[in-house]
Structure 1
Amino acid sequence: MPRPKRSEQFDPGEVCIVHVVQRCVRRAFLAGVDRESGKDYSFRKEWIRRRMEALASVFAVDVLSYAVMSNHMHQILRNRPDVCCRWSDEDVAIRWLRVFPGRRLEEHLAEPTENDVQTLVRDKERLAEIRKRLADISWFMRALSEPIARMANKQDDCTGRFWEGRFKCQRIVDEAGLLACSIYVDLNPVRAAMAESPEQTPHTSVYDRVKACQGAKLDSAAFDLRPIPTDETGTKIRDTPVDELRQERKKKRQNPTCRKILRDGWLSPLTLLPDKLSDEPEVHTGGVRSSDKGFLNMTWKDYWELLRWTARRSVEETNLKVPASLRKTLQALGIDLSMWRDLVWNWQKYFGNSVCVGHPESIKQHAAETGHHHHRGQASVKSCFAPG
């Protein structure tokens, strides 16, 4: 059975949350230690993380959780057309030109100028289309996947596919599904026996959040959202040797804004603030992410406690009861306490073939809203949830 159309899973014009999986071709370890050649490509995980961080600064898409593995990556993304609507025409133009300059920068060795921005702003029809694309998860994934594939192929001196095909997408339809999916994504390296605990798993959102709590910072990969004065660019290209321009551009790519941020500064905050209206966009003004809106009705402390408890996998601990402090949270979401660990550790069994993630009743409701009698995988998750 073919995958559903993207238009049936999410609409760039409405806020929605999706779980995205992108696999390397033939599931080869192209971002880890290759089993055949023995070569270590683990450094490519940082390529992917930095590209995600850069795109989070220009797209109206929140990165809620992520995990970069050796042969695939997981992301939980939330598109924000409500945030994109708040951006000025100039903001939209410079953001787009940073990702899609429309010319070969190696030939021109120039960044988007004020003239480039104003030229795009005057084309109202194209600008309206670009505004939609900046809130489109498909365009976000295109801008993430294609450059990584080009860099890897150039490094390996080869051509062909790096990624298996178009990304797999699951719509997350309620908070129960979002919590379970977020825990599943953050625990991917632990489930794969790559680490014993979540805090030992680089290139995951939980690792970034833990390190940020300890005060760890990194060089920001966010795009510089200031256009270059047109006259200054022309003079610089004319008077500066090409090799020097290339070196300068290469250096700037490491830290375009010359800023350091907390390690999780580019990720969406975890906790929803109760004093904010539900429809408040909470537009971010620091230039590293699209919004300051959280995504779970729980504190980082509670989330971390639940994550660490769920990560405990020894035989002696498999039947441990859910800690009393976490029972209320899971019960309020309609999750069967006795099935929580099984739901996360055996995610593929319950949600592997599903196009939606959430409580069975929420999945059924979404199916009805999209003109379907039911969604594939709807029945398999009933045992993990209490009746509504």
Structure 2
Amino acid sequence: MPQARKDQISLFDTPFYHCVSRCVRRSFLCGKDIYSGQSYEHRRSWVENRLLFLSDIFSIQLCAYAVMSNHTHVVVHVDKEIALSWTINEVLLRYHRLHKGTLLTQKYMSGNELSSGEYVSFIETVEVYRARLYNISWFMRDLNEHIARQANKEDNCSGRFWEGRFKSQALLDESALLSCMAYVDLNPIRAKISKAPETAEFTSIKKRIEAVKNKGKQASILMPFIGGQRQSRRKGIAFNLNDYFELVDMTGRCIRNDKAAYIENTQNPILERLGLHSNQWLSLSINFEKHFCYAAGSELVMNKFKSHTNHKRLRGMGQARTILGHS
């Protein structure tokens, strides 16, 4: 039986999550249907554009994403703190870009005065909207419902487009976060639809590489790498971007050459900081979804997550012990 969403997401344990949505119909989300010969490649841009649009509205940043033929991968960072700091006007301006709101929220934004009774109800509604703007379920709902409507309209049909609920995995430590990001960024290479990260269309790694090549800066639409600045006030991924590029490139070469047990050259700085050997890293970045279900991380942090989310057991505890036992 599927776990309730409240038992899969715990912002107390981590703000980082991996979300996967899979298409239910044989007519693909994207790609080319080998039965009809029709191409759905243009839908990849639908998904990517919608993701970038939503990340500008929600207090949810994109760390990694990949739009595949019949599914999408997204690694997100939930920033509850910034959502709680938004003014009433900012909450409503953001929310109204996606939904109509209520008569009271529309009345307020039009500059009309609310009665004392209306104001009490209005404030309750604003707080509901504020909570939705840092809620992963609402983020994925506003992504998937929009794409489903577009696809159904184009296919001239109705009914379900997605398999059901999206799958989510809590990324509980740095090893889980980085290996999951690499797993997502390398999806097109594992699927043999791209030969290198820089040519992997509709992925976050391509966006990051293009931004550095064109502007010499990090992609503003993605959560930045901030090096080792753990105590920095700037929010970001506490690793060096160039080290991540190098690690993804080396891992991609191993996948293409079917050498899934060895990374050539010297140990990457990221692996040194994480305390992982190359074979551990490759196992994680190639088989991440197979190793873990609702959460990923070391045995210690997975046990904490289990107690906070009322799980009786978590699949992947053995992998946490053998692969990520260093933590």
User: Normalising TM by the smaller chain, what interval?
Assistant: 0.7 to 0.9
How far apart are the structure 2 equivalents of 1:199 and 1:21? 22
**Cα deviation per residue 1:16-63 (whole Å; 9 max; x = unaligned)?**
211000001146422111122111011111011111111111111111
Deviation at 1:13, TM superposition (A): 8.0
Q: Which residue, out of 280, 283, 286, partners 1:345?
A: 286
Deviation at 1:364, TM superposition (A): 2.2
Report if the CA contact (8 A) 2:132-2:138 is conserved: yes
Report if the CA contact (8 A) 2:174-2:274 is conserved: yes
Tell me the TM-score normalised to structure 2 length. Answer: 0.88
Residue in structure 2 matched with residue 202 of structure 1 by the alignment = 201
Residue in structure 2 matched with residue 359 of structure 1 by the alignment = 298
Q: How does 1:1-388 map to 2 (within 5 A)?
A: 2-11=1-10, 16-26=15-25, 28-102=27-101, 115-116=109-110, 122=119, 123-215=122-214, 264-271=219-226, 274=229, 276-277=231-232, 280=233, 293-295=235-237, 297-312=238-253, 313-315=255-257, 317-321=259-263, 323-326=265-268, 328-351=269-292, 354-388=293-327
Tell me the TM-score normalised to structure 1 length. Answer: 0.75
Q: Which amino acid aligns with 1:339?
A: Q
Match of 1:74, SS state, is strand
Report if the CA contact (8 A) 1:68-1:74 is conserved: yes
Report if the CA contact (8 A) 1:66-1:185 is conserved: yes
Deviation at 1:181, TM superposition (A): 0.2
**Cα deviation per residue 1:159-178 (whole Å; 9 max; x = unaligned)?**
11111111001111101100
Report if the CA contact (8 A) 2:19-2:167 is conserved: yes
How far apart are the structure 2 equivalents of 1:208 and 1:316? 26
Going from structure 1 to structure 2, the CA distance change for 1:320 and 1:375 (only over 3 Å counts) comes to closer
How far apart are the structure 1 equivalents of 2:270 and 2:180? 15
**Cα deviation per residue 1:277-334 (whole Å; 9 max; x = unaligned)?**
4xx5x5xxxxxxxxxx212x221110000000000135574444454251x5324324
How far apart are the structure 2 equivalents of 1:299 and 1:263? 11
How far apart are the structure 2 equivalents of 1:314 and 1:63? 27
Match of 2:96, SS state, is helix
Going from structure 1 to structure 2, the CA distance change for 1:90 and 1:18 (only over 3 Å counts) comes to same
Match of 1:25, SS state, is coil
Match of 2:85, SS state, is coil
Going from structure 1 to structure 2, the CA distance change for 1:194 and 1:368 (only over 3 Å counts) comes to same
Match of 1:266, SS state, is coil
**Cα deviation per residue 1:116-148 (whole Å; 9 max; x = unaligned)?**
476799411100111111110111111111111
How far apart are the structure 2 equivalents of 1:338 and 1:307? 14
Q: Which amino acid aligns with 1:270?
A: F
Report if the CA contact (8 A) 1:335-1:386 is conserved: no
Deviation at 1:386, TM superposition (A): 4.3
Report if the CA contact (8 A) 2:10-2:305 is conserved: no
How far apart are the structure 1 equivalents of 2:221 and 2:184? 18
How far apart are the structure 1 equivalents of 2:317 and 2:26? 27
Number of positions where the alignment pairs a residue of Structure 1 with one of Structure 2: 318
Report if the CA contact (8 A) 2:64-2:204 is conserved: yes
How far apart are the structure 1 equivalents of 2:147 and 2:288? 28
Deviation at 1:74, TM superposition (A): 0.2
Report if the CA contact (8 A) 1:90-1:118 is conserved: no
Report if the CA contact (8 A) 2:13-2:172 is conserved: no
Report if the CA contact (8 A) 2:251-2:263 is conserved: no
Match of 1:193, SS state, is coil
How far apart are the structure 1 equivalents of 2:135 and 2:191? 31
Going from structure 1 to structure 2, the CA distance change for 1:172 and 1:28 (only over 3 Å counts) comes to farther
| Sequence identity (%) | 34
